[in-house]
Chain A
Amino acid sequence: MPDSQVIELLLVEDNPQDLELALRALRKADLANRLHVSRDGAEALEFVFGTGPFAGRHVAEELKVILLDLKLPKVDGLEVLRRLKADPRTRVIPVVVLTSSREQRDVAESYALGVNSYIVKPVNFERYTEAVRELGVYWLLRNQPAKVEE
C-alpha cells in the first residue's frame, strides 16, 4: 500500500465474492483508486485508529467514507460502528452500512448508533452496481466532510 497515496474510502468486507463484486462496482464507477480493504472488524479498527500494523497512520486522516458490512469476523460491524461513533476523532467520518441483512433490528440498531446510511445489497448485480456507484459519488464527490478539530 503506497503511503504517498491518501486513502479516502475504507471497505470492510469479509466475503470474497462480495468483495470482488464490490470492487468491480467501484471500479466501474471509477472510485477504486484511493481505497483500503479490511477483511474483518478488528483490522478495520486498527486501520482507522492507526494501531497495530497501521501504527503511525494519522487517525481519521482524509477518510471520506467507510463502507461497512455487518457480519464480520472478530469484531462485528455494529461493534465497529459503535466504536467509530463513540470516539470524537472518528465520529464525523460518514459510515455506510452495506449489508445483506434487511432485518429491522439491524437497521434500527445501526441508525441508533449513528450510521449515515443503510443499504441492503441487492441480489441483482445491476442494481448492486448502481447502489455502490451512487453512494460513492455522493460520499466521495458531493459530500462536504466535517473538519475534525484536534
Chain B
Amino acid sequence: MPPDDLQLKATLKEVGDLKAALDEHAIVAITDPQGRITYVNDKFCAISQYAREELLGQDHRIINSGHHPKEFIRDIWTTIGHGRVWKGEIKNRAKDGSFYWVDTTIVPFLNEHGKPRQYVAIRADITSRKLAEEKLRTSTKEVLDLKAALDEHAIVAITDSRGKITFVNDKFCAISKYSREELIGQDHRIINSTFHPKEFIRGLWTTIGQGRVWHGEIKNRAKDGSFYWVDTTIVPFLSDDGKPRQYIAIRADITERKKAEEAVHQMNAELEKRVAERTAQLETANRELEAFSYSVSHDLRAPLRAVDGFSQAVVEDFGTLLPEEGRRQLQTIRYSAQRMGSLIDDLLTFSRLSRQALAKRPIDTGVLVRTVLHELGSPWPDRHIQVRTAGLPPNRGDPALLKQVWINLLSNALKYTRKRDPAIIEIGCEQRPDGPVYYVRDNGTGFDMKYADKLFGVFQRLHRMEDYEGTGVGLATVQRIIHRHGGRVWAEAAVDQGAAFFFTLETEAPNHA
C-alpha cells in the first residue's frame, strides 16, 4: 500500500473512532442546506422516540415543541446560514408528546463557494437540569406570591439572632408610623409600650431562643406615642447548629378588638361599682330601718306605758272622787294605749320578718300543727269546736316562722268561728302537680271575695273592731313568711260561708349529695 493510502487509511480510522466516540456521547444530526435531515445517530432516535426512517428527509419541525418564539428560530437560521456556529438550548417534542431539552451546537460546513453545504448539529440532553431549573423557578414564584399575599395581609418583620430588625414590610411601617430606615438595625424596644411586665418579654425570648414558636398578643407604641395591639406569631429559623439564625414575626392588628374588650371590661367594672354602691345604699337603708324600728320599739312604748300607768294611778288614788263616767273614760284611755302597744309590737315583728335570716330545717308539719293547737288552748272546754286534721306531709322551712304562720291562720279560724256552734276547722294538705298545698278551712263568718286583695295588706281589716279584735297584721305576716319561703298564699271565702286559706312552700329539688 502506498504511504498516502496508508496515511489516509489511518486518518479514516481516526475519524471513524471519533465518530464512534461522539455517537456514544452526543445526539447528532446532519441536515442539508434546506434543513432536511440527512443523518441521525442512535441517540437522536432514542431521545426523539422516532425511527431513523421517520426522520430522514424531514426537517426539524418534526420535533418542534412550539416553546421557542419565531425570532429564536429565525436567529438560528440566520447565524448558521451565514456560516457561523450557533450554540443554545432548545426544547424539543418527542414522538409521544413529551418534551426534552438539548444543549445544541450547530456547525455549518461550507462548499467551495462559501455557502453551507450541510449542518452538523451536536446536542446533549439537559432535560433533567432544565426541569430542575423550571421547578425552582416555579417554587420561587410561588414563594414570591405567598410573600406578596402575606405582605398584603399581615405585619411582617424579620430580626437576626440578636433581635436586630433586618426586614419590615409596608404594613409594619404603616402601623408603627416609623420609616423603614428608622426601623432597620433597631431592636423591638423601639416600639415597646412598657405595658407588659418584664416576665412576659423574658418568656417570649426564652421560647423563641429555644427554637419554639411563640404566639401571643402584644401592645406596642407607635412613633407618635399612640398604642396598638398585635396578635403575634414569632417563628424562629434555625441554622445547621440548631441555633436560631433569624426570627420571622407575623402580626395582625387587633387594636379594635382590644378596644372593644377594654370597653366591655370597663363597662363591667362600672357595673360592678354601681352594684356595690347600690348594695351599700341598701345596707345603709337597712341599717336606718333597723335604727328606726329600734327607736319605735324603745321610745314609742315608754310614753304609752306612762299613759296606761298614770290612768291606772288616777283610778287607784282618786277613783272614789271620780264619777262612773270618768272611770269609764280612763279605762278607754288605757285600752287605747294598750292597743297601740299591740300595734307597735305586731308591726315590729312584721318588719323584723324581712330582715331576719331564714334557718331552714326539715319540719314535721303534723307535730307543728298539734303544738300550735295546744298553745292556742285546744280543746277549748268553753267552746264547741271540731278540729279535723288530715295528712300533713313534712316539709322544709324555718320552724319558728312557719309556726307563726300556723298560729296566725289557726287563731284566725278560731276567732272567726266564735259565733258558730259547732265551729269546724279543717286542716290538711292537697297534693297538686306543683307540690303540696296546705290549707286551713273554717265554717266561720268568712268575707266578701271582692276584698280579697286587701286581705294580706298591713293594718287591713275586713271586720269591725267590736265584732272581731285584731291589729290587721296577722295575714300580712303570713304572706311575708310564705313569700320568703318561695311559696304562695291565697284565700277562698264567702260571707257567712266560712273561709279557706291555702299556702305552698318552695319545692326544692332533692339533694343528691
Q: Is the CB of A99 within 8 A of B298?
A: yes
Report how far A70 CA is from B304 CA in the complex, Å.
18
Q: Which residues of A contact B294 (CB under 8 A)?
A: 101, 103
Report how far A101 CA is from B310 CA in the complex, Å.
21
Interface residues of A in 118-134 (CB under 8 A from B): 121-126, 128
Interface residues of A in 43-73 (CB under 8 A from B): 70-71
Minimum CB–CB distance from B316 to chain A (whole Å) comes to 9
User: A15 within 8 Å of B by Cβ?
Assistant: yes
Minimum CB–CB distance from B164 to chain A (whole Å) comes to 73
Q: Is the CB of B304 within 8 A of A123?
A: yes
User: B303 within 8 Å of A by Cβ?
Assistant: yes
Q: How many pairs of residues, A versus B, come closer than 8 Å at their CB atoms? A: 65
Out of A103, A124, A125, A126, name the residue touching B297 (CB < 8 Å): A103
Interface residues of A in 82-131 (CB under 8 A from B): 99-104, 121-126, 128
- Most A CB contacts (10 A, CB to CB) among B304, B305, B308, B338 go to B305
Range for the number of chain A residues in contact with chain B: 20 to 34
Which residue in chain A gives the minimum CB-CB distance to B341?
A123
Minimum CB–CB distance from A100 to chain B (whole Å) comes to 5
User: A144 within 8 Å of B by Cβ?
Assistant: no
Assuming the contacts A17-B306, A123-B308, A124-B308, asked whether A102 and B338 have C-beta atoms less than 8 A apart, the reply is no
Which residue in chain A gives the minimum CB-CB distance to B344?
A123
Question: Could you tell me the dominant secondary structure of chain A's interface residues?
Answer: loop
Q: Which residues of B contact A124 (CB under 8 A)?
A: 308, 334, 338, 341
Q: Is the CB of A101 within 8 A of B302?
A: no
What is the 8 Å Cβ interface bit string for chain B, positions 442-462, against chain A (1 contact, 0 not)? 000000000000000000000
User: B309 within 8 Å of A by Cβ?
Assistant: yes
Out of B305, B310, B312, name the residue touching A100 (CB < 8 Å): B305
Which residue in chain B gives the minimum CB-CB distance to A21?
B309
Q: Is the CB of B301 within 8 A of A100?
A: yes
Out of B298, B299, B309, B352, name the residue touching A128 (CB < 8 Å): B309
With contacts A21-B313, A128-B309 known, what are 17 further pairs, Cβ within 8 A?
A: A17-B302, A17-B306, A18-B305, A21-B309, A21-B310, A100-B297, A100-B298, A100-B305, A101-B297, A103-B293, A123-B301, A123-B304, A123-B308, A123-B338, A124-B308, A124-B338, A126-B312
The 8 closest A-B pairs by CB, nearest first: A123-B341, A17-B306, A125-B309, A21-B309, A125-B312, A100-B298, A100-B301, A101-B298
Chain A positions within 8 Å of B, measured between CB atoms, are: 15, 17-18, 21, 24, 70-71, 99-104, 121-126, 128
Q: Could you list 5 examples of A-B contacts with CB < 8 Å?
A: A121-B305, A122-B341, A123-B305, A123-B341, A128-B309
